[in-house]
Each structure stands twice: as structure tokens, then as C-alpha cells.
Structure 1
Amino acid sequence: MIQFKNVTKKYNDGSTALKGINLEIKEGELVTLIGPSGCGKTTTMKMINRLVEPSSGQILVDGKDISTINPVELRRSIGYVIQQIGLFPHMTIKDNVAIVPKLKGMSKQDYEQRIDELMSMVGLDPDIYRDRYPAELSGGQQQRIGVIRAMAAEPSIILMDEPFSALDPISREQLQDELIRLQEEVKKTIVFVSHDMDEALKIADRIILMKDGEIVQADTPDRILRRPKNEFVRSFIGEGRLHDSEVLHVEDVMITNPVTVFLSRGLAHGAKVMKQNRVNSLMVTDKNRVLKGIVTKEMLEEQYRNEDLSVQEIMRADIQTVPVGSGVTEAVEMMKQYGLSNMPVVNPEGQLVGLVTNSSLVDALLKQM
């Protein structure tokens, strides 16, 4: 979706804001850029809609170099939410939200329907609030309008520049929860700048931690807590959060050498491996150990007489997995939900790295007692 390729930013006074940034943001991902003041996080975000131009390097959106796109057209296709909200005081809420849809040529019927839908999504009854003016709303309500205004023209990308930092703690917490819930529904690609680590840990799919114009660590909140890359990351996170994160994860309880069989092997071989290892199922992998499916004892017995079949042809491919770094609680809940006795653990490349089983969970819990 969004790619930074060796992007730098140098100013005329000789200062360098960004030093060769390489970053990929996936479609539907909520990424938080965070770091100390002057680290380059806001500069990085503003480059996506060309409010700041890079000195060198490329920024691609859906594979297209944004330097070839008219800046005005680009900005109309990207939602933007700022700390100061920026609602026009002389315009009603409906007219504020309708600005970009009108500029993009959306019909009145379509954008009015869209406004009502969005207002309802953030808990503001359109019949009550659509014809009010910004001064008649609380700060939290105004910021909700700022968020839905950015969504009104249905952009695929939304930029959010510390949008909740000026609010009181209760309103801020509510809006963070609202954003998480909204993102579950709309699945936009969101780049969110924050200076608050608690906020980043709460809302982000992935955190980009920056320092002195460089990316120090880009990872999921859980992995950043569990595996801070260096002392700077540890200090920025804070020892309290690191200690709080010291709970069981799937790597702590999984079997690291689950019994596997290659895709191309025959059923007789599969039955032999199963018998030798005294198991009732086999994880099916390719030559790179990428998990492809599962074969159970019942599947083998049903098809065993067919000598021409391979395990690939009888395996079940739609299996539930849990990613490395997940908490044990998450794995247990998934096992309960799907009625499973085990859960394969995979890395980001889809490779099988372990297997959480009922017995491995019990063993791990006994060791903690």
C-alpha cells in the first residue's frame, strides 16, 4: 500500500530530518509513528500527502510514485486528522464533513447518506447533531467529527497527527476505543503519529519507533514489549511496561519440534511417521517449512487404500494458526472457539515454528507453580 524507499529529508539550514527511511505499510494496517521530539515522525507522515517533499528517495502508494500525482488530487484522496481539529466555525457539522465529498464530485444524496452513517458510527445521532455548529459540541465530539470528516470521501489512507493529545484523559481514552472499534469495521490504512507509548501500544497493529531521523524498531506492540531491540527502545518503552509484559506467550509453551510430513509424500509414509511418533495428526509443510495443512489419522485411514494419493491431496488446508509473539491466552481462546486440541504456531512468513497442545500448556503452567 505505502512504501518508503531510501527516503531522506534535508533542509536548507543543513539539518537532516530523515536519513534513508525504508518502510512498508500494508493495506488495512494501523501503524503508529512514535519517538522523541524531532525524531522525524511527523515529517514522515506528512510526506505521504506531500505536505513535505523528500530530498531524495521514493514514496509509492499502490505502486505509484506520488511525486507524479498532483498534490491537490493526492490530498483529496487521503483523509487527514489533526490535533487542532480544524472545523470551520461558521459551517454546520454536516457542511464541515461534506467538504471533500463535494470537491470530489460525490452526489448530494450519497454524501448526506454517508455523513449520517458515519455520525451514527461514532455515537452522534445525526438528527440531533448534523445541523449544529462546532461551538455547540464538546472537544471530544468535535474530534469525532474530525475523524469522520477524514473518512467521508471514503479514502483508502487516513493520516492522523496526534489527534487526541489535546483532549482530557477520559475523552482521549474513549476516542482511542472508538478508533479501534471503527478500524475493525472500516479497515482503512491508518498512519497515526503519537508521542504517547501507552496510546501506541493500545491502538497500533505495528509501532514504528524513530530516533534522529531513523527507524530504530518496527514491530507489533507485543514484540516491542517482549524484544526491545536496544537500550533506547527499552528506555522509551519504560521498565514498568516491560515488566508488565512478562506473561506467557506461545513460544514459552509450544512444542518446538512438531511432527511434520512433506506435501509430496504418500499416504503409507504418512501413516508410518504417525505410528513411529505416536501422534494422531501431522502438520503438512513444503520444502521451506511453510505450513500448508494438516492430515489426521482418520483422513489417512479413509483414503489409505488409494496408493496414488499424496498427503497434499487429502490434507485439510483451512487450519487455524496463531502467530509467533501471541499470548497464551489468545491461543487458548482460539482452541476453545474452534474445539481444537492443538494450535500450530507460525512466523510472519507462514513457516511452522511450533505447536501449542493441551499437554504442553499443562506442562508450562506446572513449571510456573
Structure 2
Amino acid sequence: MASEKDNFFYSGPKFFEPFDWNNERHRVSAAASLVNGVYVSEEDYQNNRGPNEALARPWWDFFHFRLVQYLMEDNSIFGAVYEFKHPSSTSHYSIHKAPRCVIAFRGTRLKLGSLQTDIRADIRIFKNEITVTSRFQRAVQTVHNMVTKFGALNIWLAGHSLGSAMAMLIGKNLAKSGVNLKAFLFNPPFSFNPFVSSNDENLKHFLRVKSFITAGLTLFLKDNDKISASHDDFLAVSSWIPYLFVNPVDPFSSGYIGYFKRRKLMEKIGARKFEELATQNSLSNLMFGNTETEPFQVLPSAQLTINSSSSASCGMLSAHGLCQWWSKDVILHGIEYRYK
């Protein structure tokens, strides 16, 4: 029996009607729904749901998209390409802010059929090795093809969890060549963080100490050429401002709150140079001798959106769940961090 959460008409954002592309909340709900369409497509595929049982299509039909292609690895759907279809009537809402194409990536699916493949990709992400996988290479090639076809200004990247990490890396690589894609990254993994982000003075002290340790190890373990190259890459990406959606009690994505907060703290006490070194490197990478690979979670700039609702979850899903981002009652707090 299909889960109710897969059914758009039961758990989707159908209350955003009439849909307005000028409304930021509506655009966020559309991006999250298209990512969920990948999850539900994989459920349809793995459970052999026939045409009369499949549940994925409404997750993109509602927003007037059509499915162009699926991205697959090891007999598992991990991504999808959608193209916007101009509705026959636009009297209810404006469509000038609608993307022509959205490339969406799902996160880890802890079920048979894709579990082994997804866990392997998760490990690759945290070891900074995902770029050598066939999954990532297929995704990169698809994004390049769509950029060539539609133009960078007409494309969105979207992803959840593991999928947002892939979208982030693709976006960063393109930004280094001067191509900035709009990106909606839901619950992007930073690292497992058991600490709840807060204004606690002990946390502030911990963040400052961590910055000095990271900067010190960088100077000790890296030669000047590597530090300079890392800084050049960092500057090249600084004009790209992806949208990050995090929950303060999500142990996987909440680290971004502390990441950007730490930068402000260090600038405030006059330690900007130390923080620049710390921001461009990963303490875990340095401690384990990996000085060659740029940490996947490093971002110079971002529009950080925090779920500040009293409840950290929606329904039965945890704070790492995707459906919170289209919830009618979600309270979002946005902060832009722009590297200068």
C-alpha cells in the first residue's frame, strides 16, 4: 500500500492556489515539491506501480512542469529534469519568474532497491570523493547540457540532503567558470553536529577556538601555493549565492548556522584573516591528512533560510525532512551572507 506522504493531493502544497511565481514562499514550495517528485518516482519504480497506481506525476504537474528525463544509477532514480510548460491561462498569476528547467536530486532513501547505492554515495560525500562517481558525472553532464540548451538564467538546481550536496558541488564548479545557477538546497549536510545552534556563550567560545585551530593547522600543513589556490577558488565562487534551507535541530544541516555565525564572530573580534583560512578548510580533513581536496561544505556566500517554527518537524517527519519546506504553517527566517 502506498504511503500517504507520496500522494500529492493528501500531503502536497495544493493550498498554494492560485500559484504565484512572484511569491517567494510559492517558489520554495515548488522547488521542494519537484525534489519530492524524484523521491516518489523512485518509490513508484521500486514498487512496480503501474500507470494507474503511480503517484509521482502530480508533484510536477501542479506547477506546470513536464518530466524530461530521469537520472539513474544502479537501477535507481536519483534525479530528474523538468521543463516548464506554459499554462493555457495565466490570468491568475505571473510566470515571468518561473524557471524554464529544473534539475532536481533526491537524498538518501533508506529502503531496498537504492539503500546500498545511496549509502555508498553518502560515504563518498563525507570523504570528499563524490566527484569521481558515475552518479556525479552523469549529473554534471546533464546540467551542462541543460545550460547549453536553456541558458544559465533559466535553470534551477534543487536537492535535498545528499541531493543538495551534489547540487551544491555542481553549482560551485560552474561558479568557478563564471556561471551562476539559482539553487535551492534543502537540509544540505554540513557534518553531523550534535550541538544545537544557539546564542550560548560556550558555543561562541567553541566556534572561536575551532577557527583558530583550523587556521593554525592550515598554515602548518599546507604550503603557500595550496593556500593561494584554495583562496583563488574561494573568491571565484563568492558571487554565487545559493539558497540554503536548514532546521536548527537538524543534526546534519544545522552546522551551516554555526558556520556562518562563526565568520561574523571572528570578524567582530578582528580575526578576519584567521577566519578566512578556517572557512576555506575543514578541520576534519586537516586532522586526517587530507589537504588536497576542498571540503564539499565550504561556501563563501549564501542566502540562509532557517525554519524558526515552534515545531521542528512536520507530521511524522524529522527536522531533516523535506515536507517542512512547503508546510503552510512554517515560519522562515532568512539571512544573507555575502563574502566580500
- Which structure is higher in strand share? 1
* Structure-1-length-normalised TM-score: 0.27
Which of these two proteins has the greater Rg computed from alpha carbons? Answer: 1
